Structure 1
Amino acid sequence: MHRLRAYLRYLRDCLIASDPALERLRSSLRAVLTAGACAGAFLLLTRLLGQEYKLSLAGIVVPMIAAAALPDAGRRQQQVTMAWVPVVASAVLVLGSLVAADPWLSGICFLLVIFAAFEVRRFGPRATGLGTIAYQSFFYALLLKVPPSKAQWHPLFVFGGCAIAFVIRFWLVPEHPGRMLRSELRAWRARIAVLLHGLGRASRKRIDAQLAALNRQSLGLEARIADFAVHPDDSQAAVLRAQVLHAELAAETVAAAARAAGSTAQHPDTARLPDALRWRLRRAREVLAALPPADGHLPAMRDERKPQEDTPRPNGTTRRALQACAAALGAMLAGRALAPDHWFWAVFASFIVFTRAATVGQTLSGAWRQVLATMAGVAVGIAVAELAHGHRGLELSLLFVFIAAGYYAFHGMQNTYTVLLSAMLAMLYELMGMNSPGLLLLRLEETAVGAASAILAARLVFPTHTRDESGSRSAALLRAAGELLRATWLEAQPDGQPDGRHAAMRELDRKLQALRQALGPVTGTAYPGSKENRRQHLARLARIAYCVRHCCFLAIQNAPSSSLLREAAGELAARLDAVAALLDPPAAPQAPGDTLPALALPAVAERDAIPLQLAVRWLGETDQALRAIREELAAPGKP
């Protein structure tokens, strides 16, 4: 019974740790309630008006998407965006219905909408969300094929549906920063529990993935406190941020000890560990035993996001808009040749690929995963449609089940969402009396055409290569590591001022997450190209970040005093900046013989204090990984 309870707790932690699960459930609930309320209200309204129920479908889909996917962070900003959604969606739906009968005019208008959807991203999250709503609205205008004489009904249903979604989104299932912080803290604790539970059985790759996910969630907590806390720098917020950082580093230490001992985290064979690692493990256990409780007293949070100074704007929006238009044009022409009445599915696929990719390699990865996910979704959709055929109640129930599951996966689980989207369409086609197996297979073919067009556009139209993106993000990481070394070892911290070392450490974490995000699509198992060099490059930079973080944290906590150690840290920071300059694109190729000599480190004897031994070892490992990257730059085929 004890093992059963422990296993059930583990399954619960896995579910919660996948992301803030409560927010996923809220998103799913909003979508289902919006779809159900709009469907019921419009069924009565269409009967009273004597109109076809098909006219109201856009008024169900658009609010459902908007209710679950508002991109703004603050409640007030979300309300303003939600108020603009029916205005934009109604205008585009009417336009789409009026031009749908003309194949070339509808194609030209679709290309213009796609260009605008990408171009407006330079104006921030609100414009990004409204651009996506405009694209989705035009797509559904072509899909639903409402006659031009009935196009005037679109605003009535869209405004009504958005009013229902507004009530559900902000009154029935609201979102408050304080609840979000508690939810994220609960997910963060669950992530640590899952990591520790599986250390004895998981592979090294799996453990590294869990640690990367833990780091991502820790940065999410950090950002929420910085953006929404009433006083982000007060003692309570500072203590929580410090606890999160200390626990994250402690979890990495326990993982290192478990690997070295070859045993579980709960009962490691400490006798087999080196003295320095046993010392670190004892301290890590103390930190993990004092994890901040998810139900404890948290910092006071405001409803609005803290105003951001010099908010960065996305780069290359016009380039990506032109790429997306080129991909859409190719998809439109090929899609028309394949199926003149359903060519917009190919354009839909090309647009989806470009919304998630910025480089040639990322586009190839996204296109391949889009095709695989659609293939799986078509198989599920056909099977479920055959099972539920003729049972209207079952078909309607399954439609809402797929809506709930799909919008649960909407954030961060795009492949799963694509599978469930095909299942949703299968149920929708069944309810509309259409031939779902043939249409779903056609959708798969159109998706493959759109994905191929996206790959060609990424390669031929103002291409951005993954090696350039990787080089720029790698350089940023190395510079952040150098800044952290200087802030820790060479710069005095003024009294009464916030400790800049914590901010420098989190900046390094953000640069590592950005690099993982850039290289993740082209290093994953499903990527259909060469990936080993990039994996090795990412592993070296992740090791540099690990060693610098732990070395600097050790210096902050224990302050091992050595003038030679400070000199070595300063020299290493300069080397990090020098290699970063070589990584920034466009970087000139290096001569094979142009290598870095080993860093001069102070000699350490066994009688020296453990913190000093660890600091010297981590600085040496950082220098070793940095020299390997320097040699990698001189070799052909650099990542």
Structure 2
Amino acid sequence: MSLVRAALDRLFPPDPGWLRLIAAVSATLAGLTTFVIVALMGTIAGVPVIDRVLGFAIALFIAATVRDSTIHQKLTTIAIGGVGACASTIVAALLIDQPMADAVLLPAMMFVIAFFSVRSPRHGSIGLVSLIAYLIALVSKQPAETLPLRLLVIVVAATVAALVRCVLIPERPESEIERLRHEVRSCISKVLALVAAAVGKGSWTAASRRRLRRQASRLDEIIMLAQARLVSSAKQPAYPGWGWLQLFEIQLATRRVEQIALQDLGGPEERVALLSRIEVIGAAGQQAPLPPAPGRLGGALDMLGHVLSEMPVGEPDYPAFVPPAASPPAWRPALQTATASTLAIACSELILPNRWYWAAFAAFVMFRETRSRGESVAKGTAFVIGTTAGLVAGQLLATLLSGHELQSIVAIVIAVFLAFQANVIAYSVMVFWITVILGLMFGMMGYFTFDVLLTRLEESAIGVASGVLVACLVLVRRERDVTEEAAAAFLNALRNLVRGAAAVLLEGKPTRNLASHILGTGQRFRELEAVAASEQSSFGMVRRERLRRRVMVLGACENWGRELGTICLRSGRIEDAGLTKIAADALARTDATLGYLTGAGSKTAGAIAGADTANNVVPAGADDPISHAVHLLLRLDAALDRVAAIRDERASVR
């Protein structure tokens, strides 16, 4: 059953707020509408099938890749993308009798696209659309006399994409936010249902523990999406319902229920009351004060019910936009892309003359949105696996639908939807559906044979092999280096967060950017998780285990730092002299340890270790927010000391 669930999760991964579904509808509608318009144009003047495919592909990729936030910015990107597609089509037509020039120009074009794609999503969208138009022109080899009609098709495609993205299916932040809030409620209900089932039985099974952790992780992802939408829409009127800070508190309260439930389900005499409280919270939050629920789990449930029913009054200003962590210089992936595509073209010319297009494209995608050698190799492997499986499916479908244009378009539309569903989450599945789409398109253009698809597979292998060679020899960026950079970015963000909290707790001075520090710390940790996963899949057991422990401890630090920052946004200065001394000492040690870990300071004496010590120095029964903030500081102090020990352990075995 778990294998079936895992397979379904890869084919149909969760889509919070229907964001991928709506993106798929927009892109597919743009492509399909353009296809129909170009087909109708064929009733007036002769329009070859390849131009219908050209219009479909350009409209699809424009609608799918535009990422601007305002309508004016979207229209600008779409217009420039259309101009880029026209320019690349003209160049390909003019070089139709000069295959050597084609082969030389493509790596140069890929270099420019890869270089500017690092700078902004707009450059990436324009570059990708131009590249698709150029590759279609190379495959079809239509002469210059057909240029006016093809340019008209591109203009129609860009116009349709603009109408779909800006008029028919515009992005409505308030609707997206409300759908995401609904997803948050649904996730919390599922978490509570799992906890209730365990409370009723009095124990957990291994499977139910996994389901609870998976559901809690999904809640984290949905809340991050909702917060990003709220922050990006902060200049618009406030939306009714949970605000971005309350979403933080809901996330923390739900996580606390999860963590306590996994450790303590309460005694037999407490479980009836716990089940009753879960039912009340799941039905309508906690609308009115209720008697305290028993035990630690009861306290966590009461807190969750309170947060869910609390009105978002007096929220701080929305945090500023948090830019991504510093990326490597743009010339590195650009040079690797150009070198790999050149090598792929050269090898293809030796093995498969005049069939080098797909090999060059395979080399191109290997370095798109990858950060290290390991990620590039993994992406290339997934590309070959997806292409191989797509080859079989594409052969079958194209054979069955040969000569049936309408049925082929329907199949392409379905494949586009499924490719969007797999996008980012399951790269090999996305490549599978793209390969199926290409097989169907080749069939519609009249170029389809099994030999053609088999050639695609051979070209993919050549392109990926070229990419692997370049990734391992040219400007190599090791996984460990990328992980260390991501860890340093996270620790620096955490240091800013802790310093902002210190200003509130010790001086009573609200930090203007504290909210942005909270968001930035969470974002940096997600980036660290992503690159660490790549390193963990590449090396031996000892290094994997050491990295796993390090990321696990840093994850706890991110969680405690987020909770600390959230408290400081709504609380003030510590008034108790004893707590002030404890907090000041912990903050000093934490700042020093963070300085040591980021290379900005020297190692200091060990921190207070463990939650038990924290419970001894903070007065027992002090559950007010300020006392809890001091608890969190002590936990951060101890955890970061553990991270320093792991670092020293790693250094000693080098």
Quick one: which of 27, 31, 37 aligns to 1:35? Answer: 31
**Contact in 2 for aligned 1:471/1:583 (Cα 8 Å):** no
Give deviations 1:565-622, integer Å, cap 9, x for gaps. Answer: 444444444444444445558x99x9xxx88523275634884424588666644543
The Cα shift of 1:247 comes to 0.8
CA contact (8 A) 1:360 1:459 kept: yes
Q: Per the alignment, do residues 442 and 175 of structure 1 end up closer, same or farther by CA in structure 2, a change over 3 Å counting? A: same
1:126 paired residue among 105, 122, 125: 122
- Report matched runs for 1:583-622 at 5 Å: 583-584=597-598, 596-599=605-608, 603-604=616-617, 607-610=620-623, 618-622=632-636
Q: 2:235 aligns with which of 230, 233, 236?
A: 230
Distance 1:444 1:170 in 2: 38
- Give how far 1:402 is off: 1.5
Aligned to 1:3: none
Q: Determine the structure 2 residue equivalent to 1:243.
A: 246
Question: Which residue in the other structure is 1:445 paired with?
Answer: 458
2:93 to 89, 97, 104: 97
Q: Read off the aligned partner of 2:67 and give its amino acid letter.
A: P
Partners of 1:318 and 1:411 in 2: CA distance? 24
1:512 Cα shift?
A: 1.4
- Given residue 71 of structure 2, which amino acid in structure 1 is its aligned partner? R
Tell me by how many angstroms 1:183 deviates. 3.2
The amino acid across from 1:472 in the alignment is E
1:376-405 CA deviation, whole Å, 9 max, x = no partner? 323332343455456555333212222333
- Is 1:516 matched with 2:529? yes
CA displacement, residues 349-395 of structure 1 (integer Å, 9 cap, x when unaligned): 12112112021222122222222332332333234345545655533
Once the 2 structures are TM-superposed, how far is the Cα of residue 556 of structure 1 from its aligned partner? 6.5
Task: Quote the residue 2:284 is aligned against.
Answer: none
**Cα distance change, pair 160–386 in 1 and its aligned pair in 2 (3 A):** closer
Pick aligned residue for 2:558 from 535, 539, 545: 545
Q: Tell me the residue number matched to 2:285.
A: none
3-state DSSP of counterpart to 2:68:
coil
Which residue pairs with 2:62 in the alignment? 66
- Give runs of aligned pairs for residues 124-273 of structure 1, distance below 5 A: 124-198=120-194, 202=207, 207-208=212-213, 210-230=215-235, 240-261=243-264, 267=275
Aligned to 2:469: 456
Say whether the 8 Å CA contact 1:373–1:418 is kept in structure 2: yes
CA distance in 2: counterparts of 1:63 and 1:369, whole angstroms? 27
1:285 corresponds to: 305
Q: 1:629 aligns with which of 643, 647, 653?
A: 643
**Equivalence for 2:4:** none
Instruction: Give me the whole-angstrom Cα distance separating, in 1, the residues matched to 2:208 and 2:345.
Output: 45
Q: Does structure 1 retain, via aligned residues, the 8 Å contact 2:479–2:534?
A: no
Pairwise CA distance, 1:509 = 1.4
Contact conserved, 1:359 with 1:465, CA < 8 A, in 2? yes
Query: Among residues 348, 351, 359, which one is paired with 1:335 in the alignment?
Result: 348
Provide the rounded CA distance (Å) in 1 between the counterparts of 2:353 and 2:510: 66
2: CA distance, partners of 1:205 / 1:624: 27
* Residues 546 and 646, structure 2, Cα contact 8 Å, conserved in 1: no
Q: 1:276 to 1:443 in 2, by over 3 A?
A: same
Compared CA separation, residues 402 and 556, structure 1 to 2 (3 A) = closer
Q: Distance in 2 between matches of 1:70 and 1:491?
A: 41
* 1:83 Cα deviation from its structure 2 partner: 1.4
CA distance in 2, matches of 1:482, 1:630: 15
Match of 1:464, SS state, is coil
Q: Is the 8 A contact 2:111 2:334 kept in 1?
A: yes
- Determine if contact 1:484/1:504 at 8 Å carries over to the other structure: yes
1:465 aligned to which of 478, 485, 498: 478
Does the aligned pair in 2 maintain the 1:493–1:499 contact within 8 Å? no
Q: Could you say which residue in structure 2 is the equivalent of 1:417?
A: 430
Change in CA separation of 1:318 and 1:196 when aligned onto 2, cut-off 3 Å: farther
Q: Match of 2:491, as an amino acid?
A: L
Deviates more, 1:503-512 or 1:386-395: 386-395
- CA distance in 1 between counterparts of 2:323 and 2:23 reads 30
CA displacement 1:41-73 (0-9 Å, x = unmatched): 222323432343323432221121101220212
Aligned match of 2:498 = 485
> Is the contact between residue 474 and residue 583 of structure 1 (CA under 8 Å) also seen in structure 2?
no
Q: Distance in 2 between matches of 1:58 and 1:529?
A: 47
Task: Render the CA deviation track for 1:63-90: whole Å, top value 9, x for unaligned.
Answer: 2110122021222100111111211101
In structure 1, C-alpha distance between the alignment counterparts of 2:548 and 2:460, rounded to whole Å: 29
Give the 3 Å change call, closer, same or farther, for CA 389–45 of structure 1 in structure 2.
Answer: closer
Taking structure 2 as the reference length, the TM-score comes to 0.80
Distance in 2 (CA, whole Å) between partners of 1:622 and 1:498 is: 20
Letter in 2 for 1:128: G
CA apart distance, 1:541:
0.8
- Specify the SS of the correspondent of 2:44: helix
Paired AA for residue 72 in structure 2:
R
Paired with 2:578 and 2:496, the residues of 1 have a C-alpha distance of 19
Summarize the alignment of residues 292-303 of structure 1 with structure 2, pairs less than 5 Å apart: none
How far apart, CA to CA, are the structure 1 residues paired with 2:576 and 2:380? Answer: 53
Alpha-carbon separation, structure 2, partners of 1:39 and 1:118: 29
TM-score (norm: length of structure 1):
0.82
AA in 1 matched with 2:117: R
What residue identity is the alignment partner of 2:92? Answer: G
Paired residue secondary structure (2:136): helix
Displacement, 1:545?
1.3
Q: Which consecutive residues of structure 2, in runs of 5 or more, have no partner in the other structure?
A: 1-7, 199-204, 279-292
Per-residue displacement from partner, 1:99-139 (whole Å, max 9, x unpaired)? 34433211211011111112223653322321222222222
Deviation digits for residues 251-297 of structure 1 (CA, Å, limit 9, x no counterpart):
21121122113699984999xx99555423321233245698xxxx9
Post-superposition Cα deviations, 1:414-446, rounded to whole Å, max 9, x if no partner, equal 443222111212222333344454333332332
After superposition, the C-alpha distances for 1:296-317 in whole angstroms (9 at most, x for unaligned) are x9x9xxxxx9997999985411
What is the SS of the residue equivalent to 1:49? Answer: coil
Q: CA separation of 1:495/1:230 partners in 2, compared to 1, >3 Å: closer, same or farther? A: farther
Runs of at least 5 residues in structure 1 that lack an aligned partner in the other structure: 1-10, 300-304
C-alpha distance in 2, partners of 1:379/1:290?
55
Letter in 1 for 2:234: A
Letter in 1 for 2:41: L
1:489 Cα deviation from its structure 2 partner: 4.2
Give the structure 2 partner of residue 362 of structure 1: 375
Give percent identity, aligned residues only.
Answer: 22
